[in-house]
Amino acid sequence: MQEPESTPEVGAEIYVSGRVQGVFFRQFTNDAATHLGLTGYVQNLPDGRVRVVAEGSQEKMNKLIDKLHSGPSLANVENVNVNWYEPTNEFRDFKVRN
């Protein structure tokens, strides 16, 4: 019997700018990441952006990034900047941080 091919794990630090605070963007991101089985967190930044740190399979990360480009209905996403890194496996689940 052949071993299933494993998808490489990746990490990403993602900065989302535009109208992304006060529009349920963190909850939207938390729901999407949790549904995809990713780990990490989402937080608002003082400069008005949202920061997402997530780890998981490349395929699932790509799905999350696609969702971040649209965001929840009240959001107006102007830019999504992704910085890839080697996963640290320090997260057990996905959380909203203040």
Residues 46-61: pLDDT tens digits?
A: 999 999 999 999 999 9
Catalytic site positions: 26, 44
Place of tokens 């700018």: 17
Residues 10-34: pLDDT tens digits?
A: 999 999 999 999 999 999 999 999 9
Which pTM does this prediction carry? 0.92
Whole-number average pLDDT of the chain: 94
Residue 3: pLDDT over 90: no
What domains, with CATH codes, occur in the chain?
9-87 (3.30.70.100)
| DSSP per-residue letters across 24-66 | SHHHHHHHHHHHHT-EEEEEE-TTS-EEEEEEEEHHHHHHHHH
User: Longest Cα pair distance anywhere in the chain, in angstroms?
Assistant: 53
- The answer to whether the Cα torsion of 11, 13, 19, 24 is positive or negative is positive
